[in-house]
Amino acid sequence: MRATVIALTLLLALPASLTSRADNLTLLYSGNLDGELEPCGCTLDTDFGGIQRRATFVDQQREQNPQLVLISSGGLFSPEMGSDQIKHRFILTGLAQLNYDAVGLQWTDLTHGPEFLKQVALPFSAANWIGSEFPRSRLIERNGHKIRYLQWLDPATSPYASMPALSPITPDSATLAAELQKAEAAGELTMVATTLDLEQARAQLPLNQIDLLIIGSAYELFSEPVALGNGPLVLQPGSRGQRMGKLTLDIADGRITGWNHLITELPDSVPSAARLDAWYQAYNDALREDYEQRVAQRQQLDSGDSPYLGADQCQSCHSDQFRLWQTTDHARAFEDLEIVGKAFDSHCVGCHVVGFNQPGGYLDITLTDHLAGVQCENCHGGGREHAESAGQVATLNKEAAMETLCMQCHVKEHSPQFNVETYWPRIAHPLSR
């Protein structure tokens, strides 16, 4: 059932009376979450998204239009946090409270295996899945319309590419085509999501059988829909859960005849949904318990003198630099974590203290309070040998490039506007002897 599109209008304000018409179908959709359970909060540039804000937005939209469809193309977990079962488990339980109609399955979502996902009742699907763990599609019925959602797991990026005998999917797109044919015969609107880009999708997928196609997520920002001549309406969501897309389709005789599209940001002006407060508290409690266990383990493992002294020791020889440091945001970095209740979150602490996860480094505010905050040794390296030699032994990072040291924490995700030339004056201090 090919989509024929005759108009594109940016949606500025859509009254509830229009969204509830029988010839109208509204979809809220999002792309990769990439492990972003909550907004980072490090800077205003990154203070978008979070599951609680998403819940507020979805609840508001459902209040206006109870018939809307809620879709995620998957990518819930972060590949960089593959072992982080606590965060991943709470992502699942948090999203489950939003009542999704369909959630696509991506390879990163299978980091802990299918059984991990099945702990929570989220409507995952994958059209080329071989086993019985996940259905090949999801049927959604709204306003008298039927929409068939299918997800294509890319065989080329499969972790089983070198072990085809163990692969849980079939690489043959004929399985997808067969599902689409059945949907078309049943008079259903077809929606396919994938991590492929548009050119890859053209080459690999039967686009003439697809009405709506969600391609791989762009970095953070959504794109406007694009209608292919004899093919689908193509959507490209953004990543990291910072925004939501709202697509209102005009449908006549089972065909898409027009659409309105709105991209909504989720900044801090969107309140966190109170109905998820207990969930978020449980998440922080789980992080705290895990963190305290790690502290106990490190206490047992660490022995000998720490290479880190703390800024108070540095000031005995570098008093001018110490006074300048005290006026910077670096000096208050740990207090910033305490204010937002994240002083025990291992995802955040590392860039707000000295030597986290390093022998002799920061363990806990009650045990190593002298290493809290971004201090001299974050950049210069452990200073014990330098101090004990009365400065004859150079600091460990003396030859390291400034930008390399800064980029340990000022990464794109948390500090997108970072530039050494503009940031350095904020913490500038004379060269130390």
Q: Is the pLDDT of residue 413 over 90?
A: no
Q: Is the pLDDT of residue 80 over 90?
A: no
pLDDT band at 51 (very low <50, low <70, confident <90, very high): very high
pLDDT for the residue numbered 157? 93
pLDDT for the residue numbered 303? 67
Strands 255-265 and 189-194: unpaired
The pTM of the full predicted model, rounded to 2 decimals, is 0.85
Strands 226-227 and 233-235: antiparallel
| Letter string b/e over residues 373-403, b meaning 16 or more CB atoms within 10 A of that residue's CB | bbbbbbbbbbbbebbeeeeeeebbbeeeeee
Q: Give Cα 326 distance to the centre of its chain.
A: 34
Residue-wise pLDDT tens digits, 111-131: 999 999 999 999 999 999 999
CATH number 3.60.21.10 is the correct assignment for the domain at 8-275: yes
Return the ∠ at Cα 71 (arms to 249 and 57), rounded to 5°: 90
**Range of lowest pLDDT (75-79, 224-228, 233-237):** 75-79
Cα–Cα distance for residue pair 90/85, rounded to 1 Å:
8
SS3 state of residue 177: helix
Classify burial at 20, counting beta carbons within 10 Å of its beta carbon; exposed 0-12, middle 13-18, buried 19 or more.
middle
Tell me the chain's radius of gyration from C-alpha atoms: 26
Contacts of 183 (CB under 8 A, 6+ apart): 1, 137, 148, 190
Domain boundaries, the chain: 8-275, 308-427
Residue-wise pLDDT tens digits, 337-379: 888 888 888 888 999 999 998 888 998 888 889 999 999 999 9
pLDDT band at 55 (very low <50, low <70, confident <90, very high): very high
Share of residues in the chain with pLDDT > 90 (%):
65
Would you say 1 and 255 are in contact if contact means Cβ atoms under 8 Å apart? yes
Fold entry, domain 308-427: Flavocytochrome C3; Chain A, domain 2 (1.10.1130)
